[in-house]
Amino acid sequence: MAVSCLRAQTGVGPQVISHVFGLRKAYEDGSASAEGEEAVEGGEWLAGEEGNVWILGAVDRVVEALSEGNGTTFAPGMQDIKAKL
């Protein structure tokens, strides 16, 4: 969720990368399955290379569709889209 929200913004590239690496690390070091953590169906795939590319591309496609090519909610032109939603 954090990766998706950050990806849809502009100017937060370092935070996106940090969250992607955090997701990967959680599955690599086992903390994603620590006591008290609920298992996430598909989580291991999402934390891998293919899953990372998929989530970033999926968010990009949603932003592109909603903004009609005008960018994210923090970019010019998006105000008109809010009226349509």
> For residue range 20-52, what is the model confidence (pLDDT) as tens digits?
999 999 999 999 888 888 888 999 999 999 999
Specify the pLDDT at position 72. 62
Q: Could you state, in order of their start, the residue ranges of all structural domains in the chain?
A: 2-84
What would the DSSP string read from start to end of 2-66? HHHHHHTSSS-HHHHHHHHHHHHHHHHSSGGGSTTPPP-TTHHHHTSHHHHHHHHHHHHHHHHHH
Specify the pLDDT at position 53. 93
Q: Is residue 65 very low, low, confident or very high in pLDDT (cuts 50, 70, 90)?
A: confident
> Can you tell me the distance from the alpha carbon of 40 to that of 33, in angstroms, rounded to the nearest whole number?
9
Q: Are 22 and 46 in contact (CB under 8 A)?
A: no
